[in-house]
Structure 1
Amino acid sequence: MDTEEKAAGRWDAIVVGSGIGGLVCAGYLVAAGMRVLVLEQHDVAGGNSHVFRRRRAYQFDVGVHYLGDCGPDGLLPRVLSGLGLGDRVRFHPMDPDGFDRIVLPSVTVDVPAGWDRYADRLRAALPAEAEGITRYIGICAAVAQACRQSAFAAGPGAKVPAVMLRWSRRTLAQLFDHCGLSARARTVLAAQSGNYGSAPASTLVVAHTMMLDDYLRGAYYPEGGGQVLAASFVELLESHGGTLLTRTRVDRILIEGGTAAGVRLTDGTVHRAPIVVSNADYCRTVLELCGGRENLPEPVVSRAETATMRLPLAVCYVALDRELPLPSANIWYWPGEDVDAAYAKVESGSLDELPFAFLSFASLKDPVPGAACPPGHTNFQIMTACPPGYAPWGLTDGPAHGARYRREPAYVGAKDRLTEQMLDLAEAAIGPFRANMVHVETSTPLTQERYTLSTGGTAYGLQTWGRVGQRPDIGSGVDGLYLTGQSILHGGGIVGCATGGAQCASTILGRPVLAEGPAGNPELLPDREPGWDPLRTSRGLRRREARGLALLDRVVAG
């Protein structure tokens, strides 16, 4: 063992992966006095909350296009406040009268905050469906209330409300059938399904409702971009005695005598701890990091081997040298009016017709001057769902296993065609803009896999695992090994993963941390100097001043 390994010594807990779930869990553990190590294979912490920069002028969010339920009583502010970070992240509200605009060929619906107003807006747009919509809203609102109560009360032995149990294994398509809704109404109601990446027939009512309820409680954008979230959790971790190591990939979670014992890195370094939390991709955790059947029960391995993932996404990042005269709302543009048929084409492996285009305008949502782009410019993203697997890209394997793909002709051709299709849909939604493009690039599912090591390149984790409605729980079945992230029982989106991270910490500590008072000590947090850069902070203390940090030609946060 070399000097650095000896210096590392033993830890009380090790967290593998620095997505929001892992960072929140680590935060509560370090606030409880534990010595915590967080390991991240990418250059910066944050997972899908991270940003990247181009031309020293544009900052693009990878996954934080908007967040729900960030008002004073919201779940994410509650997590932040519980860790003493309530004043470190400011959330800018989007238009409560229409934060999402759903556009179909024959109908447009501006989605407002509040279940009652949402129901009224839907009935006005689809008057012939009023009875079915009322029934749908009643069920969804009840499930949403039960989910929220469960989240705040979560801890060892917490009870699951009856209404959530009743719908926990039923799909959104079954709910639509129950309410007698038409194909057009289904498309309107499922138009925001790109927020979780699955068709109504593959989406549990609970998953859809949790997403929708978050946004109906108010849609927000974190001032300065999504990296501010990750950087705040990193500040908490390091100021309370924890350590973040970026560009540090875990090769194996060590399980000795049926108990978690630490991790081994790809360079052979071993870090030991009696508690290991995996915030890594669930299937890779089971089949690769834990060694599969060598260390885990047969049913767990079998379920991971046969699991399916939610659909992966592609995102086109666009910068214009002019402003767009648009409201501060996202646009969900569906060129057809049959959501089930649209998803069926994608699931069959076809990239010929895109199901939808989600347009998110960071420069219209972020009030921090120059955070997203220079004054007078526009920064926006176009997102759509992609088929599963590598075949649509002309490949047989992905970057998680070392496959090189970025210059493969088949991949480049498929990516270029997809980019043009996404631009076409965006122009159909908001009018022509290509003449003003000064930057455009597309992230594919392989890009997602490269940076997050997610199975299938999905940002949204598991779709099926075992029987209908079943999801992996926080406990892994191995003493000392815990799970958090998109695929775990309470995960789903940034807010869901943050809540899931808190619930993972609750399980480890044996007390419901979300129901308690503040855990962190704000007096230990570092001062933010003028020009504070969340991207630099998210590299971790040991790599904070390393070369290669992308910069902007102006202050973006502070």
Structure 2
Amino acid sequence: MTADMTSNRTARPDRYDAIIVGSGIGSLVCGGYLAADGRRVLVLEQHDVAGGNAHVFRRRRRYEFDVGTHYLGDCGTDGIIPAILSGLGVGDRVRFRPMDNERGFDRVITPTTTLDVPSGWDNYRDRLKRALPGEAAGIDTFIDLSKTATALSRASVLGEPVVDLYRANPEVTRWSRRSLGKVFHHCGFSPRARTLLAAQYGNYGALPDDIGFSVHAGLMDHYMRGAYYPEGGGQVLVATLVEALEGHGGELRTRTAVARILIENDTAVGVELADGERILAPLVISNADYRRTVLDLCGGEAAFPAHLVRQTREATMRCPLTAVYVALDTELPDIPNANIWWHDSDDLERAHARMIEEEMREVPQLIFSFASVKDAGAPNVCPPGHSNFQIMTVCPPGHEFWGVDKSPADGERYRRNAAYLARKKQLTDTILATAEKVIGPFRDRITHLETATPLTNERYILASGGTPYGIGNWGGVGKRPDVRTGVEGLYVVGQSTRYGSGVGGTATGGMVCASQVLDRPLLGEVHQGAVVGDPSRLPDRGPDWDPLRVSRGRARQTAKGLARIG
């Protein structure tokens, strides 16, 4: 199969070893390691800055809001994220602030219970038993399954021999392939127990019957190893990876949209940009939305077997989110160094179904993330004495809920649409009124208020359905594509791969992709202390160092339009 190769522009000579489409965490990790190995790497990003869902935006020269970096797990001395950074030679450039891991990094609130979730599986077990004394046996079963399943998964990702371990744990292997809902049923949990255990489903955007048990357990294990926030915000992590990429000879181009991935004789040969320019390379890695990669960038059946195209076209996405960004001219009282997960029901699954059926006339759950508490005193977050936080909620899928006919990626000009604006205002007002019931009154102290809907996310990130979580069902619950595709020289990374959502999952997927390209077990090596990158090649950071500027790429650092703080 051969994709259409007609063009009025001449292809640029093959002077890159790899082209990466999109600049999320997965692609920056992968690109950094390929560059550190000596490969000539080009990363292309259609937005003004790198980072994907991990980027930030600034408002009023006083506030910086993280789009998707709300907390990170596993950032201790044995952590995978620090190991990935250290392996690139940039481990000392990102500092991680611990959240309240002893008292609780997540606070779950339901009508009958407040549960503070601590780090450590056994500490979590004890808190659950105190909250659910009648369900101790089921809790023991669930925690034991989770601990064993995640230990096996971690060993596998780190390249350790696991065949005998899996053979010795057939029950865990069997349950790891099933949905979280089926494991809940196996444990005999009540709706209240299911609600407390799945309360943080906003971390992956799917209800228990629609998510694999291994996904849930893996995300929880990530935070059971300690919850952290990157000092200076998520853009610091992005900028550090950009420095590693560029320091090792790679190139980041922002404001550069890719129109097509070029495929000849079942082999990726480069990309064509939106302006018609072609750039050739023997390796293409797509960090673009997986459905768009297969169906649009690669031309569907022109590059892939019909069954894979059909499976991708029929794939469902995980839940979309609406986020309200709030700044206040005062500090909020009694806010813990934790996220708050509030539910208006002890049966979150029934409440979610009601939300869909009633088109969200009420908000059944909210997620609060307090940047000014997690990164207290950071000058980029807010002025002293102010607050900066987000309130998020999952919302119904589909464009119809928002009063539009198609997606922004397909040309929908929605931002002045009266129906869209009315829905956005109604939902924002409802979220704010509900939030005040949880954390107390604050609306009269607001200095900045902004709402991002799934259409906003789709416009900036080009994510199908506007979800930050990627594919939900790709031919089966929990089934997702791997990084290697059936096209020679074409790989994928990002939120829709089998390695998971969030910074930890996408970074791991980026490492797996680089490992397959370079044919070496990178993650295991760096976790054992290997350093692939060369710190001497990194740029110095002066007193005016700005991660947002760095994240525009070296060629555009001084371009106009950069928002500033102060």
**How would you bin the TM-score normalised by the shorter chain?**
over 0.9
Shift of residue 469 of structure 1? Answer: 3.4
- Give a deviation string over 1:190-232, Cα, whole Å, max 9, x none: 1100010111110110110111111111000000000011101
Shift of residue 150 of structure 1? Answer: 1.5
Other-structure match for 1:490: 499
Task: State which of 79, 87, 94 in structure 2 corresponds to 1:74.
Answer: 79
Whole-Å Cα distance in 2 between the matches of residues 114 and 532 of structure 1?
A: 36
- Give a deviation string over 1:73-111, Cα, whole Å, max 9, x none: 111111111111100110000011211110011110011
Are residues 154 and 458 of structure 1, via their aligned partners in 2, closer, same or farther at CA, if it must alter by over 3 Å?
A: farther
Other-structure match for 1:457: 466
Whole-Å Cα distance in 1 between the matches of residues 270 and 478 of structure 2?
A: 31
Q: Does 1:527 align with 2:540?
A: yes
Contact 2:19 2:43 in 1 (8 A): yes
Task: State which of 549, 560, 566 in structure 2 corresponds to 1:536.
Answer: 549
Shift of residue 159 of structure 1? Answer: 9.6
Q: Does 1:448 align with 2:448?
A: no
One-letter amino acid matched to 1:520: G
Q: Which moved more, 1:491-500 or 1:308-317?
A: 491-500
- Give a deviation string over 1:19-71, Cα, whole Å, max 9, x none: 00011000110011000000001110001111000000000000001111111
- Give a deviation string over 1:329-360, Cα, whole Å, max 9, x none: 11101011111112223455722232310001
- Give a deviation string over 1:436-480, Cα, whole Å, max 9, x none: 111111000000000100000000000000134321111110000
Shift of residue 489 of structure 1? Answer: 1.4
Whole-Å Cα distance in 2 between the matches of residues 202 and 491 of structure 1?
A: 14
SS at match of 1:148: helix
Other-structure match for 2:258: 250
Whole-Å Cα distance in 2 between the matches of residues 399 and 160 of structure 1?
A: 47
Other-structure match for 1:260: 268
Other-structure match for 1:403: 412
Shift of residue 515 of structure 1? Answer: 1.7
Contact 1:484 1:491 in 2 (8 A): no
1:203-282 counterparts in 2 under 5 A? 203-282=211-290
Task: State which of 170, 193, 202 in structure 2 corresponds to 1:194.
Answer: 202
Task: State which of 101, 108, 121 in structure 1 corresponds to 2:107.
Answer: 101
One-letter amino acid matched to 1:247: R
Q: Does 1:352 align with 2:361?
A: yes
1:104-119 counterparts in 2 under 5 A? 104-119=110-125
One-letter amino acid matched to 2:311: R
Other-structure match for 1:142: 148
Q: Does 1:16 align with 2:21?
A: yes
Aligned length, in residue pairs: 551
Contact 2:402 2:419 in 1 (8 A): yes
Are residues 205 and 3 of structure 1, via their aligned partners in 2, closer, same or farther at CA, if it must alter by over 3 Å?
A: closer
Contact 1:150 1:160 in 2 (8 A): no
One-letter amino acid matched to 1:261: V
1:157-556 counterparts in 2 under 5 A? 161=166, 165-325=173-333, 326-348=335-357, 350-516=359-525, 517-553=530-566
RMSD over aligned Cα, in angstroms? 1.8
Whole-Å Cα distance in 2 between the matches of residues 348 and 31 of structure 1?
A: 51
Contact 2:491 2:513 in 1 (8 A): yes
Structure 1, unpaired ranges of 5+ = 554-558
Other-structure match for 2:3: none
Shift of residue 428 of structure 1? Answer: 1.2
Are residues 183 and 27 of structure 1, via their aligned partners in 2, closer, same or farther at CA, if it must alter by over 3 Å?
A: same
Whole-Å Cα distance in 2 between the matches of residues 350 and 341 of structure 1?
A: 14
Task: State which of 29, 54, 60 in structure 1 corresponds to 2:59.
Answer: 54
Whole-Å Cα distance in 2 between the matches of residues 271 and 158 of structure 1?
A: 43
Are residues 462 and 552 of structure 1, via their aligned partners in 2, closer, same or farther at CA, if it must alter by over 3 Å?
A: same
Whole-Å Cα distance in 2 between the matches of residues 538 and 210 of structure 1?
A: 29
Identity of aligned residues (%): 56
Q: Which moved more, 1:253-262 or 1:346-355?
A: 346-355
Other-structure match for 2:4: none
Are residues 440 and 154 of structure 1, via their aligned partners in 2, closer, same or farther at CA, if it must alter by over 3 Å?
A: farther
Shift of residue 170 of structure 1? Answer: 0.9
Whole-Å Cα distance in 2 between the matches of residues 524 and 5 of structure 1?
A: 31
SS at match of 1:153: coil
Contact 2:311 2:474 in 1 (8 A): yes
Are residues 429 and 443 of structure 1, via their aligned partners in 2, closer, same or farther at CA, if it must alter by over 3 Å?
A: same
Whole-Å Cα distance in 2 between the matches of residues 9 and 108 of structure 1?
A: 59
Q: Which moved more, 1:215-224 or 1:335-344?
A: 335-344
SS at match of 2:138: helix
Contact 2:269 2:283 in 1 (8 A): yes
Contact 2:10 2:278 in 1 (8 A): no
SS at match of 1:87: helix
Are residues 302 and 542 of structure 1, via their aligned partners in 2, closer, same or farther at CA, if it must alter by over 3 Å?
A: same
Whole-Å Cα distance in 2 between the matches of residues 336 and 349 of structure 1?
A: 16
Shift of residue 160 of structure 1? Answer: 9.2
Whole-Å Cα distance in 2 between the matches of residues 500 and 354 of structure 1?
A: 34
Shift of residue 423 of structure 1? Answer: 0.9
Shift of residue 371 of structure 1? Answer: 2.4
Are residues 129 and 275 of structure 1, via their aligned partners in 2, closer, same or farther at CA, if it must alter by over 3 Å?
A: same
- Give a deviation string over 1:233-267, Cα, whole Å, max 9, x none: 10011111110010111100000011000000010
Are residues 532 and 150 of structure 1, via their aligned partners in 2, closer, same or farther at CA, if it must alter by over 3 Å?
A: same
Contact 1:362 1:380 in 2 (8 A): yes
Whole-Å Cα distance in 1 between the matches of residues 177 and 557 of structure 2?
A: 46
Whole-Å Cα distance in 2 between the matches of residues 384 and 365 of structure 1?
A: 20
Are residues 530 and 436 of structure 1, via their aligned partners in 2, closer, same or farther at CA, if it must alter by over 3 Å?
A: same
- Give a deviation string over 1:503-558, Cα, whole Å, max 9, x none: 010011111111221111001000100021000000001111000000000xxxxx
Whole-Å Cα distance in 2 between the matches of residues 377 and 298 of structure 1?
A: 55
Other-structure match for 2:48: 43
One-letter amino acid matched to 1:537: V
- Give a deviation string over 1:278-323, Cα, whole Å, max 9, x none: 1110000000000000111112101111100001001000001101
Structure 2, unpaired ranges of 5+ = 1-6
